[in-house]
């Protein structure tokens, strides 16, 4: 396997929605290369565009939305130009599959779990009858569903939340996709089950050589699974790097704010550096750095000109004027600095 082979290449992507005659720009010029076999986490507050971004490469945008600029290259095709459901059917499931927060949105309550997985096996792997059933039982076993023969005949409502999510993952695996997008896959589950599902996804990634995108607002989840982390704010990736770079060398004040809200930092409750204010109104054109009004470190220029990316390493880049040589020296808040220092020490000991 070639290292750093790009499997999906997004350039200058813009996505807009029309709402009551007004236009909202949800994705504001994202470029990203997804590498084959990696697990990339996309983090950011609710409403930052994580779901819209990934739905745009599955043809799953709501009807009032469309790709209004840029390209999404996958296997020589520009998915941004796809318009018909016939085109998308070749991609969705078969090439790129998705696991959502709520398993009930993916499972049909009127069909047995076994039948649903088997339909995917039949459609995507060309198996029939006994062979398809056999393969389905294998997937149920793979995803850790006990008594698979019995579970095969049951309906989604007879499964617990965690077991349902396992069934959804089995269905996704049965489609044999190259890329798996997991949109808040564990948010609806309780903590112990969350950990199990994350572990299962890691196992599936190894076994089936998947490229995975994890969408989450929970940086804690990210630490365990991601090779790289992309931080989104107001429809843009404002910092991206390896997990190590984002956790221990983050440079964007918004990333610092996210890091400071990690539970392990919340000594006696309150985080010391919470994000004040609200995200910008996406119906209006955004001048400068979208985060500026909430950024205690903002410079004058942040209100005027959108920052370019500054490259901090071949894998780490950040959209922040603080990296400009003319900007004053700026250090992260104390809590974040301490966390980063501890993390670096721990990582260096390994
Ligand atoms: N169908 C839609 N119509 C109008 N606005 C939408 C629609 N879907 C999403 N948006 C807007 O796009 C932005 C990004 O949403 P989303 O990707 O769901 O955020 P996230 O997944 O990060 O929580 C939000 O401002 C949201 O309100
Ligand atoms: Mg979302």
User: What is the structure's pLDDT at 266?
Assistant: 47
Q: Find the DSSP H helices in 144-234.
A: 148-152, 161-174, 191-208, 219-225
> By C-alpha distance, which of 208, 207, 240, 211 is closest to 225?
211
For residue 55, the ligand 1 atom closest to its alpha carbon is: 17
Residues 280-299: tens digit of each pLDDT: 999 999 999 999 999 999 99
312 within 8 A of 305, measured Cβ to Cβ? no
Q: Domain check: are 338 and 235 in the same one?
A: yes
Tell me the C-alpha distance between 13 and 56, whole Å. 9
For residue 94, being part of any structural domain is answered with no
pLDDT interval class at 43 (50, 70, 90): very high
Mean pLDDT, range 232-251, rounded to an integer: 96
43 within 8 A of 258, measured Cβ to Cβ? yes
Strand, coil or helix: 250: coil
| Cα 140 to middle of ligand 1, angstroms | 34
pLDDT interval class at 265 (50, 70, 90): low
Domain range enclosing 135 = 108-176
Ligand 1: residue whose CA is nearest its atom 10: 26
Domain boundary (132, 158, 176) is at 176
347 within 8 A of 248, measured Cβ to Cβ? yes
For residue 317, being part of any structural domain is answered with yes
Mean pLDDT, range 27-36, rounded to an integer: 97
| Cα 27 to middle of ligand 1, angstroms | 9
Residues 49-61: tens digit of each pLDDT: 999 999 999 999 9
For residue 306, being part of any structural domain is answered with yes
Q: Which of 43, 49, 233, 238 to mutate to test the pocket of ligand 1 (most atoms within 8 A of CB)?
A: 49
How far CA 171 is from CA of 30, 168, 214, 262, in Å, comes to 30, 5, 17, 32
Is the Cβ atom of 64 under 6 angstroms away from ligand 1? yes
Q: Say if residue 244's pLDDT is above 60.
A: yes
Residues 69-122: tens digit of each pLDDT: 999 999 999 999 999 999 999 999 999 999 988 888 889 999 999 999 999 999
Q: Domain check: are 238 and 169 in the same one?
A: no
Strand, coil or helix: 18: strand
How far CA 236 is from CA of 56, 223, 299, 309, in Å, comes to 14, 21, 19, 12
Q: Which of 25-29, 192-196, 273-277 has the highest mean pLDDT?
A: 25-29
Q: Which of 14, 23, 24, 46 to mutate to test the pocket of ligand 1 (most atoms within 8 A of CB)?
A: 24
Domain boundary (176, 198, 222) is at 176
How many structural domains is the chain composed of?
A: 2
Residues 148-191: tens digit of each pLDDT: 999 999 999 999 999 999 999 999 999 999 999 999 988 888 88
For residue 278, being part of any structural domain is answered with yes
Q: Running DSSP on this structure, what letter comes out for residue 92?
A: B
For residue 288, being part of any structural domain is answered with yes
Q: Domain check: are 344 and 249 in the same one?
A: yes
| Cα 170 to middle of ligand 1, angstroms | 28
For the whole model, what pTM was predicted? Answer: 0.94
Q: Domain check: are 242 and 143 in the same one?
A: no
Tell me the C-alpha distance between 228 and 310, whole Å. 17
Q: Domain check: are 172 and 240 in the same one?
A: no
Q: Domain check: are 258 and 341 in the same one?
A: yes
Between 129-138, 147-156, 238-247, 264-273, the lowest mean confidence (pLDDT) is in 264-273
Q: Which of 15, 44, 52 to mutate to test the pocket of ligand 1 (most atoms within 8 A of CB)?
A: 52
For residue 194, being part of any structural domain is answered with no
For residue 60, being part of any structural domain is answered with no
Q: Domain check: are 166 and 240 in the same one?
A: no
Domain boundary (161, 176, 191) is at 176
The CATH number of whichever domain residue 324 belongs to comes to 3.40.50.300
| Cα 187 to middle of ligand 2, angstroms | 11
User: What is the structure's pLDDT at 274?
Assistant: 65
For residue 53, the ligand 1 atom closest to its alpha carbon is: 17
DSSP per-residue codes, 107-163: S-TTS-HHHHHHHHHHHHH---HHHHHHHHHHHHHHTT-SSHHHHHTS-GGGS-HHH
| Cα 51 to middle of ligand 2, angstroms | 4
Ligand 1: residue whose CA is nearest its atom 9: 52
Is the Cβ atom of 48 under 6 angstroms away from ligand 1? yes
For residue 163, being part of any structural domain is answered with yes
Q: Domain check: are 343 and 235 in the same one?
A: yes
């Amino acid at each position: 396997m070639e290292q750093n082979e790009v499997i999906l290449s997004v350039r200058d992507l813009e996505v807009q929605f029309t709402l009551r005659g007004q236009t909202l720009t949800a994705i504001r010029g994202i470029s990203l290369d997804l590498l084959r076999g990696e697990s990339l986490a996309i983090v950011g507050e609710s409403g930052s565009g994580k779901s819209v971004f990934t739905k745009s490469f599955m043809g799953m945008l709501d009807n009032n939305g469309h790709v209004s600029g840029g390209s999404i290259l996958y296997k020589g095709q520009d998915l941004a130009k796809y318009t018909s459901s016939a085109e998308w059917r070749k991609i969705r499931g078969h090439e790129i599959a998705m696991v959502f927060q709520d398993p009930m949105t993916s499972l049909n309550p009127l069909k047995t779990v076994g039948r649903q997985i088997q339909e995917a096996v039949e459609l995507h792997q060309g198996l029939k009858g006994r062979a398809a059933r056999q393969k389905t039982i294998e997937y149920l076993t793979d995803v850790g569903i006990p008594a698979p023969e019995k579970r095969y005949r049951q309906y989604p409502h007879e499964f617990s939340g965690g077991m349902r999510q396992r069934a959804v993952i089995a269905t996704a695996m049965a489609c044999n996709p190259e890329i798996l997008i997991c949109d808040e896959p564990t948010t609806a589950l309780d903590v112990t089950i969350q950990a199990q599902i994350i572990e299962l996804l890691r196992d599936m990634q190894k076994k089936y050589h998947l490229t995975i995108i994890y969408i989450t607002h929970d940086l804690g989840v990210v630490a365990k699974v991601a090779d790289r982390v992309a931080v989104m704010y107001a429809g843009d990736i404002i910092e991206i790097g390896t997990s190590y770079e984002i956790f221990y060398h983050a440079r964007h004040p918004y990333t610092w704010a996210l890091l400071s809200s990690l539970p392990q930092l919340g000594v006696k409750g309150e985080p010391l550096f919470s994000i004040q204010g609200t995200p910008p109104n996406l119906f209006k054109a955004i001048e400068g750095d979208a985060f500026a009004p909430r950024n205690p470190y903002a410079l004058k220029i942040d209100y005027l000109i959108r920052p370019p990316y500054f490259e901090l390493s071949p894998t780490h880049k950040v959209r922040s004027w603080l990296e400009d040589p003319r900007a004053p020296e700026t250090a992260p808040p104390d809590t974040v600095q301490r966390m980063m220092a501890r993390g670096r020490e721990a990582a260096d000991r390994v």
